[in-house]
Structure 1
């Protein structure tokens, strides 16, 4: 588990903090920031083959201040900086990004990059513009009134975007590496159910075929994180709780729509994988991931049974557990399987006992310390509120309603930025469309449960405040991350639809 053993690395790492950047500025050193994940094969390769070499580690320790970021623990920083893994960001001493890239470079190539940036910093440091003190002004997009007309325009722009970016040959979206984007597929299925427009169903079926062909594990069930190339030719073998929970839900939805038996088998095998491998039947809750191991997954089925399985990473990430709760509740209710509902409720019990306090939700449960860690992040609070509200709707267990209320009370008091009219992790962070959509959805559900007008008013205000940002996202030029960000916009659109429709 390299991502948790960086303290024993040859590279002397600091944790991400304002103080670390102040030290770099005081010493006149550039900053090497690494984002890595315990389940990531290429992160381990880069660590072992490049960073742990004597030449690279010695050069970094002498010439850079190095900062380590764990992907699963600091998803706020992952959203801010990462375009892939491992992610390398090189800053000058003033905190300005000089170079950033994703991927594992060989030792000599990485040293060349480090030396070039360090030389450039030394040459230009005297001429560099002074770093602005405090926070720079953040452009606040104009609010857009929440109306049916606005919703239809945003929905149509989203559907046009998806049509334009659909790979009609291989399935999925875009022409590069293929990610499953379950939220987009679920949204398209919902649009097909509402309109019976077969274009949406064809897009989903084409994508699901690519997913089954490219990242599905037919031996043990479950899905890998993504595949290289538009043809889904080479999977990256880590198995993530969030990916599998969201895909199980989409395949079940697709089976109910089409009656395709392959979709049903994939759903059942994925749920079985989650229960067998990632679910903690003793304490409740789901582990976060299973580490990538290409050699293991390339074995024949008979050889796999005798081989040692890839390790499971046992920290329990709040947002991913909440997503699993929503999946298991939905599947349990649609199939009549009480055991799936029981798993969901057991997970909520674990979360309520270990991850929720009067100060909101922790980012994760640390298996080593047996405690919740890293409070104050927006995404875990949004997902947790949504999961507890849905758990209460399904079970009428009062503790779940109270847990949701604690999270929402904290979020409204500590995470809401009145100047921008939306939820943020800090006053300098950009507005997260997806997390705000999830939080708005939770507030709308809380309003329908309690009748509190202030929750509906706040949700409506958030949707209005982000209306301009949503439209800009859906019409801006293409780039490497646009599909993933539009997938986040689906959460916003779903909350928007809840506001304008009658309960």
Structure 2
């Protein structure tokens, strides 16, 4: 239990069988608090609301209170999230939803407690419901076709903020995957958005990016720094540097790597997050004042999915810059992943002392698979057999009804209900296409295609947040550009292949069937003549461009 929860006076239970049994025996509803170590609003609610002795007494008397760290329990987060954190959720003893809210001040909490008690006294567990997202309904399937990419291009244009950059006019999140989609297709939008992110969300003093801005003009930043946000932005800025060669995009990536390898480095891998601090006042101090102030705390938990993202990002940056520090830290974090968090193909969400997270979560497998493949592409590392086992475990255990569940179909509350997250399915399909490009194993391409087709009937409902669906659809339609290099990783020809201006390509060093000193580019059943120099390679790749 985190220190903020422990100070409240609420008699919190950890997520597990015990509170559900107690609620069932006592005939009480459950109050589920979804919180995060980095969340300043969560800490404020602990102090102002749960810290009120009368409210704490009412909760302890009338409910079974359960506290959940959303980073450590992502499946609980996705089923009970009320649109942000903190989330305040009331459940039946069976785990079905009664009602929920976000942040509640003391008066708001009193009103909700009264309302829930009346509901419970009148209807009991019959008032519970299963949210539609986990009701078991399959997403509408359809064929993949070129209109899907055009739909996402249209979504970019419809939602792009011409004045401030970014997509949408309310709160602005960085949306690194959307930026990467736009870099290849609507570069001006991507570049302007990256510039806005640098100007408004970058910490000029310590490096790293804040989580998001509450205002449409990028004002009112929320100062928490999450590893996954920062890793994904390192990769997005690095890919912008690939396309433009502009220092404006390389420098924020480099300084964020500085932050990751100092403040978030645990000695063997990357910590999960750094909080905004109490009242977020630390980040508004002048640099000389920050030098004297105590920095906000870091959650040192090493999460598999976030570390895999960081490995992928740092190796991407190294591929374009030859910056050895990025390579060294990526190798160390990848070694930790392989030694501590991967066992016979299954990935452990986290390991913190004696506490172990869940295994076989879709996000862990998708991002770990991508990191292992990137290590093969960039370093020539011997990671493909491990990548196969990670992919095979996900397919065998999570691939069901033509798409991937977010985790095992077991657990308390709503955890036994299937949830098929679109973003997680897109990430896995994308990684499987990379694995197919390297191994030639058609099963991986077939599963990727089946996964995308399962959601394709609803593509016209998707917004710019999931443009990755458009990118993976295009890869299936047009095949992936793959560059097979006869030389080992690190050769001039291999480095040139990595720097071909297409961040969706796959590079295979030490490729079988390719003569030393040459490289062959392929797209589906089309291939180029062997190229012996970087210039020849660049010219040959252009012959495989999509019309």
- Give the TM-score range, shorter chain: 0.7 to 0.9
Contact 1:422 1:466 in 2 (8 A): no
Q: Do the aligned partners of 1:437 and 1:493 also contact (CA within 8 Å) in 2?
A: no
**For residue 422 of structure 1, what is the aligned residue in structure 2?**
404
Flag structure 1 segments of 5+ consecutive residues without an equivalent. Answer: 192-199, 475-482
Q: Mark the CA change 1:137 to 1:178 in structure 2 (over 3 Å): closer, same or farther.
A: closer
Contact 1:143-1:465 within 8 A present in 2 as well: yes
Contact 1:38–1:313 under 8 Å retained in 2: yes
1:432 CA displacement = 1.2
Equivalent position of 2:452 in the other structure: 463
Change (3 A) 1:171 1:241: same
TM-score (norm 2): 0.79
Q: Secondary structure at the match of 1:66?
A: strand
- Residue 150 of structure 2 corresponds to which residue in structure 1? 156
Q: Is the 8 A contact 2:148 2:473 kept in 1?
A: no
CA distance 1:178–1:131, shift in 2 (3 Å)? closer
Q: In 1, distance between residues paired with 2:197 and 2:26? A: 49
Contact 2:426-2:469 at 8 Å conserved across structures: yes
Deviations along 1:372-402, one digit per CA (max 9) or x if unpaired, are 522121111111111112212323332x223
Structure 2 matches for 1:226-375, cutoff 5 A? 226-258=212-244, 260-280=246-266, 282-283=267-268, 285-293=269-277, 294-358=280-344, 360-366=346-352, 368-369=353-354, 372-375=356-359
Q: Residues 153 and 201 (structure 1 numbering): CA distance in 2 closer, same or farther, change over 3 Å? A: same
Aligned to 2:213, what secondary structure does the other structure show? strand
Q: Structure 1 residues 423 and 498, CA, compared in 2 at 3 Å: closer, same or farther?
A: farther
Alignment of 1:206-245 (within 5 A): 206-245=192-231
Q: Secondary structure at the match of 1:248?
A: helix
- Partner residue, 2:461: 473
Change beyond 3 A, Cα 1:308–1:144: same
Give the aligned partner of residue 491 of structure 1: 468
Distance 1:60 1:207, change over 3 A: same
Match of residue 185 from structure 1: 179
Provide the residue aligned with 1:50 in structure 2: 49
1:311 to 1:93, Cα distance in 2 relative to 1, 3 A: closer
Q: Are residues 138 and 46 of structure 1, via their aligned partners in 2, closer, same or farther at CA, if it must alter by over 3 Å?
A: same
Q: Deviations over 1:36-82 (max 9, x none)?
A: 00111111111122112211111111111222221111112222332
Look at both structures and tell me which one has the larger radius of gyration over its CA atoms. 2
Q: Distance in 1 between matches of 2:23 and 2:356?
A: 30
Question: Is contact 2:178–2:468 with CA below 8 Å preserved after alignment?
Answer: no
Q: What is the aligned length?
A: 468
Partner SS, residue 180 of structure 1: coil
Counterpart for residue 408 of structure 1: 391
Gaps of 5+ in 2: 410-416, 480-522, 525-547
Change (3 A) 1:97 1:327: same
**Hey, what's the Cα distance between the residues in 1 that align with 2:264 and 2:127?**
50
Change (3 A) 1:233 1:144: same
CA displacement 1:216-249 (0-9 Å, x = unmatched) = 1111111111111212221111111111111122
SS in structure 1 opposite 2:71? coil
Hey, what does 2:169 align to over in structure 1?
175
Asked if 1 retains the 8 angstrom alpha-carbon contact of 2:242 and 2:320, the reply is: no
Say if 2:372 and 2:384, in contact at 8 Å, map to a contact too. yes
**Structure 1 residue runs of 4+, over 6 Å off?**
129-132
Match of 1:443 in 2: 432
TM (normalized to structure 1)?
Answer: 0.86
Measured in 1, the distance between the counterparts of 2:343 and 2:247 equals 43
Partner of 1:108: 107
2:160 aligned partner: 166
* Cα distance between partner residues in 2 of 1:385 and 1:491: 17
Residue 99 of structure 1 is matched in structure 2 by: 99
Distance (whole Å) between structure 1 residues aligned to residue 4 and residue 291 of structure 2:
29
Task: Between 4-13 and 211-220, report the one with greater CA deviation.
Answer: 4-13
Distance change (3 Å), C-alpha of 1:107 and 1:73: same
Structure 2: how far apart are the matches of 1:347 and 1:382?
17
Seen in structure 2, the aligned counterparts of structure 1 residues 464 and 119 have a Cα distance that, compared at 3 Å, is same
Alignment partners' CA distance in 2, 1:278 and 1:59: 39
Q: 1:123 to 1:310 in 2, by over 3 A?
A: same
Change beyond 3 A, Cα 1:181–1:27: same
Question: Matched residues in 2 for 1:131 and 1:272: separation?
Answer: 47
By how many angstroms is 1:92 displaced? 4.4
Give the alignment of 1:125-164 within 5 angstroms.
125=124, 128=126, 138-146=136-144, 150=145, 152-164=146-158
Worse-matched range after superposition: 248-257 or 39-48: 248-257
Q: Aligned partners of 1:407 and 1:162: how far apart in 2?
A: 34
- Quick one: structure 1 residues 28 and 395, their matched pair in 2 at CA, closer, same or farther if it must change by over 3 Å? same
What SS is found at the alignment partner of 1:316? coil
Q: Secondary structure at the match of 1:278?
A: coil
Q: Deviations over 1:170-199 (max 9, x none)?
A: 2222222211111111110121xxxxxxxx
Cα 1:434/1:71, change in 2 over 3 Å: same
Q: Contact conserved, 1:4 with 1:38, CA < 8 A, in 2?
A: no
